[in-house]
A and B are shown apart, each in its own frame.
Chain A
Amino acid sequence: EIVMTQSPATLSASPGERVTLSCRASESVSGDLAWYQQKPGQAPRLLIYGATTRATGFPPRFSGSGYGTEFTLTISNLQSEDFAVYYCQQYSKRPPWTFGRGTKVDMK
């Protein structure tokens, strides 16, 4: 099973800042990497797929990069509605599909 490791576990930031979240795979997943945003009491919401493609409804301040084993989610100009938990997920080759433990972005 491919293990996904996210860092940091918690990131404290202020509105307007640029933040970078990391996700590392225990083996190459090529570009088969998704990011999800989850707010309290809600289901996760697809944010990025194919490592770099932004899902419908998310503004351009969200961007994904990376390939292979190292991936990054960047949020530029952090807005109040962006405070949430972000998860990465790999879907390379065959199941099991696996998620990271998440990075919580909270207000400094």
Chain B
Amino acid sequence: ETGVTQSPTHLIKTRGQQVTLRCSSQSGHNTVSWYQQALGQGPQFIFQYYREEENGRGNFPPRFSGLQFPNYSSELNVNALELDDSALYLCASSLGTSGSYNEQFFGPGTRLTVL
């Protein structure tokens, strides 16, 4: 059983560019969440996908968008990058059903630097 994997591990972009981050969920997991973690802070919830549909969103602007694919892998897209988007981006997967309290398993993250 493989865990959650993310790519790339590091990325450097310039302000105004667009970026796509990728995540492969743990085998059998159908729910994926994305988090942004600024330096010295706890992770902040961006959004969640369940069976290819967004089913929850945090306080992030629409230029943060995502996709979940039939194999439950996922992408996070960020348009018009700003300096404050520099952070560690974490993907977490879980086996999700309504009312389930199954824990989320996190990937190692992608470190994005915006210059």
Are A and B a genuine interacting pair, yes or no?
no
Chain A contact residues, CB within 8 Å of chain B = none
